[in-house]
Copies of this chain bind each other. A is one copy, B any other.
Amino acid sequence: MLILLTNDDGIRAPGLVAMYRQLTRLGEVHVVAPATVQSATGHGITMSAPLMTARVEVDGAFTGTSVDGRPADCVKLAVARILPRRPDLVVSGINSGANVGINVIYSGTVAAAIEAAFLGLPAVAVSLYLRKQIEPDYHQAAKYALGTINQCISSGLRGGQVATINLPVLQPDQEPKGIKVVRQCTRAWPDAYESRKDPRGREYFWNTGIFTLENAADDTDVAALRDGYITVTPLQFDLTHESMLRDWAGRDWSLGQ
């Protein structure tokens, strides 16, 4: 099994290294990942700048290819030019921070997995919920991630399909309450901006909004992760709103200016 591993936190991120070590139990793992942190870059691609690449050795664990670009660039370039053949699985992560709720749409980690599905490959994004008081254990998280990925595969994950996995934050003696397959929560999180003046009097703003799992709809990824479960959410990349489409397509539209 040939596996492409990428992320959006950069090729040296501890979550990627931990995931690499576990994925070698499944097959041959090739790492093609951003040279630098690309968090919350969303699903961007690089068209108007060249993509610099380098072979880098990370932590004595692997030698991979760093790309001076976005997560989706890494997947496209890896599949088109870098890997010896089309991969059997694409894994993105482990991201430092949960990608649940509307963060699914902001997430570069998820964007890489969706890009792989565009290309007809089976893909999984993996993210770890972080809390300030608890030191993240990526080694332990990667073990649970591998177990969950294995079950996605045995549940029939196939080319063009993509799932996103979120892992709960755990105290050293804790384990997750289980695995829940749940839908994406679509509630907005509260926006807040702090205004400041620069030394020349120009106004600027810091985003001070805090993403919280407290504002969750029942039976969603946000609620299940908050309650200590590993969450699995199968994703689509057809953004068509079906009921609005049916309604609007039945109306008369004219070229009035």
| Docked-complex contact B42 and A43, CB < 8 angstroms | yes
Copies in the assembly, this chain: 2
- What count of chain A residues pass the 8 Å CB interface test? 91
Known contacts A193-B77, A240-B235; A254 and B179 CB within 8 A of each other: yes
Residues of A172-190 at the interface with B, using a CB-CB cut-off of 8 Å, are: 175-176, 178-184, 186, 188
- Which of A56-64, A87-95, A98-106, A126-134 forms contacts with chain B? A98-106
| Docked-complex contact A233 and B240, CB < 8 angstroms | yes
Cβ contacts under 8 Å, A85 to chain B = none
Known contacts A81-B195, A251-B155; A240 and B236 CB within 8 A of each other: yes
- Cβ-based interface call for A199 (8 A): no
- Cβ-based interface call for A44 (8 A): yes
Residues of A17-54 at the interface with B, using a CB-CB cut-off of 8 Å, are: 39-48, 50-54
| Docked-complex contact A202 and B255, CB < 8 angstroms | no
Contact of A203 (CB < 8 Å), options: B42, B53, B176, B247: B53
Contact of A205 (CB < 8 Å), options: B50, B104, B118, B183: B50
Known contacts A45-B40, A155-B248, A191-B79; A52 and B179 CB within 8 A of each other: no
| Docked-complex contact A44 and B44, CB < 8 angstroms | yes
Cβ contacts under 8 Å, A44 to chain B = 40-42, 44, 106, 108
| Docked-complex contact A191 and B76, CB < 8 angstroms | yes
Cβ contacts under 8 Å, A175 to chain B = 255
Residue of B nearest to A52 (CB): B204
Residues of A190-243 at the interface with B, using a CB-CB cut-off of 8 Å, are: 191-193, 195-196, 198, 202-207, 230, 232-242
Bound-state CA distance A147–B106 (Å) is: 31
Could you pull out 6 A-B pairs where Cβ atoms are within 8 angstroms? A39-B47, A50-B206, A81-B195, A120-B188, A182-B249, A236-B242
Contacts A151-B254, A230-B255 given; 18 further ones with Cβ under 8 A?
A39-B47, A42-B111, A43-B43, A43-B105, A45-B106, A50-B196, A50-B205, A53-B204, A81-B193, A119-B188, A155-B248, A175-B255, A179-B253, A180-B253, A182-B249, A186-B238, A236-B241, A237-B239
